[in-house]
Amino acid sequence: MSPTDGKTLAEKSLEHEFHSFFPPGYQSGKTKFIIVTGSVMSGVGKGTFTGALATLLSCHGLKVSPVKFDGYLNYDAGTLNPYRHGEVFVLEDGTECDLDLGSYERALHRNMTKDNYLTGGKIFKMILDKERRGEYLGRDIQFIPHVTGEIKNFLRELAQKTNADVVLVEVGGTIGDLENSYFIEAMRELRYEEGKNNVAFINLTYIIEPGSLGEFKSKAAQIGLRQLMMLGVQPDIIICRSQNPVPESIKEKVSIFGNVPINHVYNIYDFSNIYEIPLVLRDLGLDKELFKILNLSPKENKDSVLNFENWENFVEKIKNANKEITIAIVGKYTNVRDSYLSIVKSLEHAAPYLGARVKIKWVEATDIEDGKISVEDALKDVNGVIVPGGFGKRGVEGKIAAIKYVRENNIPYLGLCYGMQLAVVEFARNVCGLKTAHTTEVNPGTDCPIIDIIPEQKDKLEKSEIGGTMRLGAYPAKLKEDSITKKLYGKDVILERHRHRWELNPKFHKILEENGIVLSGIYEERNLVEFIELPNHKFFVATQAHAEFTSRPLSPSPLFVGFVQACIG
């Protein structure tokens, strides 16, 4: 369990059983590790809690590097359907990842990278690539020590790269899932190697409250905690998640079965304002107990943005917001609200600064398309409309009908990715007179391909490559002088993130401009349109990018601020 001392990995593998090779210069104890696990069921808010804890520790002046582990064998989240896994979040470096990475970025007001995201597929590809290069020569590759060793090395390298005070690890899924059992084992080994005062375990468990009984039941939580301990992990802190506050007797039962002192058992019940959670954790004293467990001290916080004062002010703005506006999100995944999580968060960030709170009206585009509801009935009572990103032809004509309605009725509109492309299709058909205008994603044979695939993307599709082959990550846009977009951003050139293959066809730029569309942002290197707007409309702005990915609570997206302001009127 020491640096390689000039020997190759193959040589060290033959000498030792540990397979834990610390990066050169690595010092155990310099970085502390906090491992967040879940039990009973998924979806209880591990990501929200982890983000809140990251905010709390950062406000104490600590450098936090979070990691999300997902046990599935996909290399990344790029090919996952939103119905299966919610929103696919995109980092600035182009990594397609779990939506919890978005929670981390919003919590820390800092960009994450590929090093903050780990999947089972990524681990196994890493190991198999090394095996093919002969780096395990002479050894049969096993879960212990090789898989667990590579996981620990991944975390240590992150700690060193980021000079982190704390590496905060969220383990996806629940205790007992086969696909994360080897990761839990790696975390057990991490504590063994790093020392008890350098690794803390926090377990989130759900306390059920069956409606038929009218009381809380902790047995499921007890079983989940026992499963965790059977894997060799003793939690230091237990978070009891519940819909309503639990009585002290429940916390006592959890304390006994989890072998955790009662003052390390906390109850976090459902909050209407999740941005309060870092402050609630502070008021409960969880931060102080963590500092004791890890022999860690807070530092002077020199961050002018992310600090307790600014966070408290933001929470107060939410509480004092007295205007309510209704925003329709017209999409095709509306049955799974996490599919549009970053959009909802961006609205939550922008509205309090304008004294408003947002009510979301979910409109299924397919229902408009199939005639189950008229576009007039779907949008008659809203203050603004967002058409988000997406893929494929289902619901496309429903989205186009919604865009036509808001354009003709001067209702504020924000189009994101596909929402920009379809706004162009609608305008081309109904204003420019190009009745057959379409995107070749939906109609490859259209004689008016106003939205078309760029050559390099076409080559990738013909090779049947799907994962990681889109225009991904941050791209610059030069903003047009005197445009709405430039006024909102206040800059000549901005960066926003992308996830798409099709683009506005440059052959149609001229006719669109002649009929009144302003091409207000251009990726000049490829002459690709990034922003469009209608200047005589209350607010009609659309972007090829996903502006929702860069919004933060203390620095909301300029596009969303402008949109919400227009919706307030």
Q: What is the pLDDT of residue 77?
A: 86
Phi first, then psi, for residue 98 (nearest 5°) are -65, 150
Check residue 200 and report its DSSP letter. E
Q: What is the pLDDT of residue 483?
A: 96
Tokens found for residue 480: 């047009």
Q: Answer whether 283's CB lies under 8 Å from 314's CB.
A: no
Gap between the Cα atoms of 372 and 330, Å rounded: 14
Cα torsion at 440, 406, 429, 534 (round to 10°)? -90
DSSP, collapsed to helix, strand or coil, labels residue 66 as strand
| Mean pLDDT calculated for residue range 548-566 | 97
- What's CA 206's distance to the chain center, in Å? 23
**What is the assigned CATH class of domain 321-568?**
alpha beta
Model confidence band, residue 3 (pLDDT cutoffs 50, 70, 90) = very low
Catalytic residue of the set 105, 349, 546, 567? 546
Domain locations along the chain: 32-294, 321-568
Q: Is 546 a catalytic residue?
A: yes
Q: What is the pLDDT of residue 176?
A: 84
Q: pLDDT (tens digit, 9 = 90+) per residue, 245-303?
A: 999 999 999 999 999 999 999 999 988 899 999 999 999 999 999 999 999 999 999 99
Gap between the Cα atoms of 308 and 301, Å rounded: 9
Q: pLDDT (tens digit, 9 = 90+) per residue, 419-451?
A: 999 999 999 999 999 999 999 999 999 999 999
Q: Is 85 a catalytic residue?
A: no
Q: What is the pLDDT of residue 569?
A: 86
Tokens found for residue 343: 């959009």
Model confidence band, residue 478 (pLDDT cutoffs 50, 70, 90) = very high
Q: pLDDT (tens digit, 9 = 90+) per residue, 118-153?
A: 999 999 999 999 889 888 877 888 888 889 999 999
Domain 32-294: give its CATH architecture.
Answer: 3-Layer(aba) Sandwich (3.40)
Enumerate residues 6+ apart whose C-beta is below 8 A from 459. none
Enumerate residues 6+ apart whose C-beta is below 8 A from 214. none
Q: What is the pLDDT of residue 453?
A: 87
Catalytic residue of the set 97, 417, 432, 567? 417
| Mean pLDDT calculated for residue range 39-43 | 82
Q: Is the dihedral of CA 401, 406, 407, 413 positive or negative?
A: negative
Q: What is the pLDDT of residue 4?
A: 47
Q: Is 240 a catalytic residue?
A: no
Question: What single string gives the DSSP state of each residue in 249-262?
Answer: HHHHHHHHHHT--G
DSSP, collapsed to helix, strand or coil, labels residue 393 as coil
Residues across the chain: 569
**pLDDT over 50 (residue 1):** no
Q: Exposed, middle or buried, 536 (CB in 10 Å: 0-12/13-18/19+)?
A: exposed
Closest CA to 495 of 120, 94, 177: 94
Model confidence band, residue 11 (pLDDT cutoffs 50, 70, 90) = low
32-294 and 321-568, same CATH topology: yes
Q: Is the peptide bond before 145 cis (omega within 30 degrees of 0)?
A: yes
Per DSSP bridges, beta strands 518-523 and 528-533 are antiparallel
Rounded mean pLDDT of the chain?
A: 91
